[in-house]
């Protein structure tokens, strides 16, 4: 009987607890379940977006790669690639595919001599870059384009004082090129020397090109000072 009463007491206690806490507990379960399924839904959507961006970029890249075999994009292919790049940037702007799409569009613009469009695309890529390497690439290309547009001061500002990481040699070489275009051979020499110091020893082609640039701006050796004692002896004779 005691056991039976205890069981009834337990049931009554459970009813009382449920009356006081059941709604909050149920709400908590619903919220947890909702959060879980919401997370699942979000990750599923993100995966679908990533796959769609990848497919769109691959479709664009297929045209570019096929054109590389003939060394140039036709006018129709250029239009198609540019439209695809714009769509990728608009629909998947936060993805790495959008960054690369902007780089490709900039490259086409440079090949066509449209430096204004190239600069705009590279600025977009620079703003969208989310890692050090991507930032360094976009910044260097933008600086090169600005130099080609005649904006040498802007080009130098873009690369000056930036942490280029593994691209330090390319950055210093670019500075040397910009200084040389400005007629500042001393600054160009210093930048080229820094580029040579940073370049990998096994990169013989790049080292040879840099050596040519250094030779072009290397200061002439100073003439030895005259020997005044010898000059005086000759005069005395």
* pLDDT tens-digit readout, 207-224: 999 999 999 998 877 666
> What kind and span of H or E run contains 124?
helix 115-128
Give the max Cα distance, the chain.
143
Residue 182 CB partners (closer than 8 Å, separation 6+): 152
Delimit the domains of the chain by residue range. Answer: 27-130, 152-219
In this prediction, residue 6 has a pLDDT band, given cuts at 50, 70 and 90, of low
**Helical pair 75-91 and 2-68, crossing angle rounded to 10 deg:** 160
Position 209 scores a pLDDT of 92
The conformation of residue 112, written as its DSSP 8-state character, comes to T
Task: Summarize the confidence of residues 136-151 as an average pLDDT.
Answer: 97
Position 82 scores a pLDDT of 95
CB-CB contact of 173 with 196 (8 Å): no
Higher pLDDT: 57 or 127? It is 127
> Using one digit for the tens of pLDDT, what is the confidence trace for 75-126?
999 999 999 999 999 999 888 999 999 999 999 999 999 999 999 999 999 9
Position 1 scores a pLDDT of 46
Higher pLDDT: 175 or 48? It is 175
CB atoms within 10 A of CB 151: 17
172 HSE (CA, 13 A, CB side): 21
Position 57 scores a pLDDT of 87
Q: Where are the alpha helices (DSSP H) in 69-151?
A: 75-91, 96-111, 115-128, 132-148
């Amino acid at each position: 009987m005691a056991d039976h009463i205890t069981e009834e007491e337990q049931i009554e206690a459970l009813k009382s607890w449920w009356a006081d806490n059941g709604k909050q507990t149920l709400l908590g379960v619903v919220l947890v379940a909702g959060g879980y399924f919401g997370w699942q839904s979000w990750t599923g959507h993100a995966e679908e977006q990533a796959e769609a961006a990848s497919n769109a970029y691959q479709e664009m890249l297929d045209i570019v790669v096929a054109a590389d075999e003939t060394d140039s994009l036709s006018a129709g292919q250029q239009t198609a690639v540019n439209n695809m790049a714009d769509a990728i940037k608009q629909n998947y702007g936060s993805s790495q595919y959008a960054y690369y799409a902007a780089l490709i569009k900039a490259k086409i613009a440079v090949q066509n001599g449209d430096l204004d469009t190239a600069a705009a695309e590279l600025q977009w890529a620079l703003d969208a870059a989310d890692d050090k390497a991507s930032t360094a690439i976009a910044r260097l290309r933008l600086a090169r384009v600005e130099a080609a547009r005649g904006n040498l001061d802007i080009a130098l500002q873009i690369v000056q004082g930036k942490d280029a990481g593994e691209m330090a040699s390319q950055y210093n070489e670019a500075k040397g090129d910009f200084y040389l275009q400005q007629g500042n051979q001393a600054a160009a020499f210093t930048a080229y020397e820094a580029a040579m110091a940073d370049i990998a020893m096994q990169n013989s082609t790049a080292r040879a090109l840099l050596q040519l640039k250094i030779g072009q701006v290397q200061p002439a050796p100073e003439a030895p000072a005259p020997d005044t004692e010898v000059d005086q002896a000759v005069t005395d004779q």
